[in-house]
Amino acid sequence: MDPHCDVLLVGDSVGMVVHGLPNTIGVTLDMMILHGQAVMRGASHALVVVDMPFGSYEAGPEQAFANAVRILKETGAQAVKLESGPTVADTIRYLVQRGIPVMGHVGLRPQAVNVDGGFKAKGRNDAEREKVILEAVSTDEAGAFAIVVEGVAADLAEEITRRVAAPTIGIGASNACDGQILVSDDMLGLFDWTPKFVRHYAGLRTEIGDAVAAYAKDVQDRSFPAQEETYFAK
């Protein structure tokens, strides 16, 4: 991915797609650092951003700074991302003023799933629309260098992109945003369920299943390993 992408986001969605968690709430700082380290070992071109997980920044700017410093020091990544809005604006500003680049995240915020009652698109009524706009504007004014806009109506994504100076990165937010992001496992077709906003660029779930089935068959009928895959005494 690295040669083709401007940004690699080590998202807390790793808790769901790799660790099998039902949502991102159970993701820990140690998990994010571990995966951030792995991505950094393979990245030489893209900007690498690591998500700050639930519970690692909400207590205030000082907590956020300590944990963001740990992420950057232990992974070598260049920036952090946190789910943002007016209540987090002071924290973003605090981090940026102290040399930590911050990417924001507005609209559908997975870490707020328990408050919002699930993964639901945002901005479909006037009250929600104004709330998401306020999230984006406050995040922009606090100094975020980019803003992920997730799960919002197309016209709202267009308005947010027009009103903020920071580039917007859409996921389920139409092509009105400045850039796009997808969870790699979704893009590569590793799951049966496909969200509305995902396009599969491969069908790896089927390909992997077929490959494992063929391997198991070859083992069972002893056609693997064959002579060309076997060591012999000289």
CB neighbours of residue 201 within 10 Å? 12
Where does residue 154 rank: exposed (0-12), middle (13-18), buried (19+ CB within 10 A)? middle
The phi and psi torsions of 226 (rounded to 5 degrees) equal -90, 180
Confidence label for 194 from pLDDT (cuts 50, 70 and 90) = confident
More confident residue, 79 or 112: 79
Quick one: CATH architecture of 2-188? Alpha-Beta Barrel (3.20)
Q: Which 8-state DSSP code applies to residue 21?
A: -
Give the pLDDT mean for 145-173.
98
Q: Is the peptide bond before 225 cis (omega within 30 degrees of 0)?
A: yes
Tens digits of per-residue pLDDT, 201-215? Answer: 999 999 999 999 999
The whole-number pLDDT of residue 160 equals 98
Tens digits of per-residue pLDDT, 133-154? Answer: 999 999 999 999 999 999 999 9
d(CA 178, CA 166) in angstroms, rounded, equals 9
Give the pLDDT mean for 43-64.
98
Q: Do residues 168 and 179 touch, judged by C-beta distance below 8 A?
A: yes
Does 150 qualify as catalytic in the annotation?
yes
Please give the angle made by the CA atoms of 38, 10 and 147, to the nearest 5 degrees: 155
Confidence label for 116 from pLDDT (cuts 50, 70 and 90) = confident
| Active-site annotation holder among 58, 83, 135, 150 | 150
Mean pLDDT of all residues belonging to the chain: 96
CB neighbours of residue 179 within 10 Å? 15
pLDDT(122) > 90? no
pLDDT(118) > 80? no
H or E stretch covering 88: none
pLDDT(197) > 80? yes
CB neighbours of residue 117 within 10 Å? 8
Round the CA-based radius of gyration of the chain to a whole number and report it.
21
Give the pLDDT mean for 157-180.
98
The whole-number pLDDT of residue 82 equals 98
Percent of the chain with pLDDT over 70: 100
Name the pTM for this structure: 0.94
22: nearest Cα among 127, 97, 118, 95: 118
